[in-house]
Amino acid sequence: MLFDKMINRRIERYQSELLQKYCDEVESMYRKMRGWRHDYHNHIQALQASMALGKYDEVNQYLADLNQDLTTVDTVVKTGRVMVDAILNGKMNIAAQNEIPVNAKAKIPEGTPVSDIDLCVIIGNLLDNAIEENKRLPRDSRFIRVYMGRKNTQFYLSVTNAAGKKRAKTDSRFLSAKGVEHGFGLSRVESVVKKYGGYFSADSEDGGFTAELLIGIGDAG
């Protein structure tokens, strides 16, 4: 009982730190988006001036630079919930900075009972784990796949990522390559899923790791 309380306190502390990190990531992303929009008219004026002077090479370079800048911001996946969009796209931006390709198809069905906060906890934990695992691998073998959608009468979410060797499991937690428990984040996800009467599974094999969950939607949507 005492051990369980210690574990719960540790998870709560970890989660508090995690939520603060999410807030920082989201604020950073939106600050960059606001800045780009604010500069929009200045960009147009600069391009018009260069065109008027016939500096077409300069225009092409300027457009290339703008396209690169916009690409880092406008990777937006729209799930149907603004807060979840912010977290998911923030994590995808971090993955891109670490040269990890992400293939994401995500739409949260109407009537999904999970709160925005709990969805952010789930997505944040799973993608943090996926990013950290990928960072240990050669760049040409990295990948993350995310899927969210309806499966019959249930909300379905899966995250699959490149991984090293198959991980051992102890007390329902996977051991990381660093010898510490990888499962605290997964344990937190599982507790959130159980709160909604759902099903959660995580599977480790050589070269890959997959986490999946199902939560009933009922008659909504």
The predicted-structure confidence for 71-97, as pLDDT tens digits, reads as follows: 655 556 888 887 788 888 888 888 988
Q: What is the mean pLDDT of residues 150-173?
A: 81
Would strands 208-216 and 199-205 be described as parallel, antiparallel, or unpaired?
antiparallel
Which band of pLDDT confidence, cut at 50, 70 and 90, is reported for residue 211? very high
Q: Output 72 or 204, whichever has higher pLDDT.
A: 204
Candidates 161, 122, 55; CA nearest to 63 is 55
Query: Residue 94: how many CA atoms within 13 Å on its side-chain side?
Result: 21
The pLDDT of 178-185, averaged and rounded, is 53
User: With a threshold of 0.75, does the pTM exceed it?
Assistant: no
Choose the CATH number for 75-216 among 3.30.565.10, 3.40.50.620, 3.40.50.970, 2.90.10.10.
3.30.565.10
Q: Band the pLDDT of 2: cuts 50, 70, 90.
A: low
Q: Stretch 142-147: mean pLDDT, rounded?
A: 96
d(CA 204, CA 213): 15
Confidence of residue 7 (pLDDT cuts 50, 70, 90): low
pLDDT at residue 202 greater than cutoff 70: yes
